[in-house]
Structure 1
Amino acid sequence: MPRQHRSRERRYSEHAGRPGRRENPDRSREQAAPAQDCSIFGITCESQYLAQWRQPRPGSCSTRLSHGYPVPDPRCTPGGIDASVSEETIRNPAWRTKCLRNCQSSEAEKHVTYKWYGIVKPRENSGESQVCELDHLVPLELGGADGLGNIWPECGPAGVSLDGRYFKLKDRVENYLADEVKAGRIPLAEAQQGIAADWTRYLPEANRYCAAGGRC
């Protein structure tokens, strides 16, 4: 698993104008936690990608379908982790995703991924009108990296309510896997690699978990 280290914002400073996991709802208002809140976890904020990664050219990436749902281009978004986040970290009640959010790439920098995938950033993208989310492929709650090789624009489908959008369905998978890791039923590394390879494979289990009262 090759390591790709990034200085927090320097490497991508030339790409100003990119979003994060959410813009208005892409969670842009949730900033990285103050150091004193997260220092107990020893977070390094470095990306270890799950495959060799080079920054893509605009328009060179495309999503594909798996089980009828979009997954990112593995050349452009292989997924990545912050190896300083352990299972013990995730089980700690004090753990919050804000300890990783925007710690390596800013909200503005993340917007470049729209260009990589040839997607026009929606003008209205908040509340019930949200159609895209700039998604951490390996989610932050599972120790996902904040580097750009772990970010992709997850958009659509049209004509459905907000809770039926693809990024909301993936949220179910993220919550399901995080709870499985916390309960010791799935190793953290297995969950990280599995969701990076194909998040849709877990959707049936996540839907059952949601229907049974789990976090949706």
Structure 2
Amino acid sequence: MRYFIGTTAGVALVGGICVALAIPAASRPPAHRAAAHAPAKASQASGSCPVAGIDPEANQPLAEWKEPGVSTCRPRMVNGYPVPDATCTPGAINPTLTLAVLQNPKFRTGLCVRDNATSPGQKDKTYRWYGIPKPAHNTGQTQTCEKDHLISLELGGADTLANIWPQCGPSKTVLRKRYFKQKDLVENFLADQVREGAIPLADAQQGVASDWTQYIDAATAYYARHAATRRHPSDQ
């Protein structure tokens, strides 16, 4: 995730929206247990991680997963935004990234988990699975795709391929309006809500994995109302 401070014009939703977005228990997808995953070991992610007890390779997919074949994955559009193929990218959590860890002000995804379980080169395989050419000059204002953690690392997502997909486009719009920047807004919003106790961590993980677009309006309104006072979570 990267910083996203832009807001969408015309949002003025009524107060109480943060409470309304919690997913009703009856409609939440059941929690899945990984059938054949060894218990996560408690280890220091790296010498630079200031938080103990994190296993950066811990991986618990939300559904049974195996590596997809080339061009076998198809994203779909929901509410005008792409969501990944659930068979190819069901989402996965790192169970050692507990609420206490995520609430720890010393925790930083870049220092503690990012690119530990999978390298950037390994993540590139997801482009082939989705039949998307890896874009050249994919940085800054020319960035059109992001190798996105479906459940973001700051929401306890795993840095594994069951949780990563290439989120691309639309290219003919300003950077802050591209799909991955809109999802960044959602991820930052949910991370704020989880740390503050407004949404249970498991609910946020399941919700963003099943349909991240359901939070767009709430996230946009939240940051429109709190733009002057909220510090967006850092990925450093």
Q: Is TM (by shorter chain) over 0.5?
A: yes
SS of corresponding position for 2:49: helix
Identity of aligned residues (%): 47
Matches within 5 A, 1:1-216: 1-3=32-34, 5=37, 34-38=46-50, 40-43=52-55, 45-98=57-110, 99-212=112-225, 213=227, 214=230, 215=232
- Which AA in structure 2 matches 1:35? G
So what's the TM-score if we normalise by structure 2?
A: 0.77
Partner of 2:13: none
Q: Does the 8 Å contact 2:49/2:107 carry over to 1?
A: no
- Which AA in structure 2 matches 1:94? K
Query: Structure 1: any 5+ residue segments left out of the alignment?
Result: 7-31
Structure 1 residues 70-94: Cα deviation after superposition (integer angstroms, max 9, x where no partner): 0000000000000011111111101
* Aligned length in residues: 191
So what's the TM-score if we normalise by structure 1?
A: 0.84
Greater fraction of residues in helix: 1
1: distance between equivalents of 2:221 and 2:116?
A: 33
1: distance between equivalents of 2:137 and 2:37?
A: 34
- Determine which structure has more spread, i.e. the larger CA radius of gyration: 2
2: distance between equivalents of 1:164 and 1:39?
A: 34
Structure 1 residues 94-151: Cα deviation after superposition (integer angstroms, max 9, x where no partner): 1111211011111110000000000001012011000000000000001100110000
- Which AA in structure 1 matches 2:63? A
- Which AA in structure 1 matches 2:33? P
2: distance between equivalents of 1:180 and 1:110?
A: 28
Q: Does the 8 Å contact 2:49/2:108 carry over to 1?
A: no
Query: Structure 2: any 5+ residue segments left out of the alignment?
Result: 1-31, 39-43
Consecutive aligned runs of 4 or more in structure 1 exceeding 4 Å deviation: none
SS of corresponding position for 1:70: strand
2: distance between equivalents of 1:118 and 1:83?
A: 31
2: distance between equivalents of 1:66 and 1:160?
A: 19
Q: Does the 8 Å contact 2:62/2:91 carry over to 1?
A: yes
1: distance between equivalents of 2:108 and 2:60?
A: 20
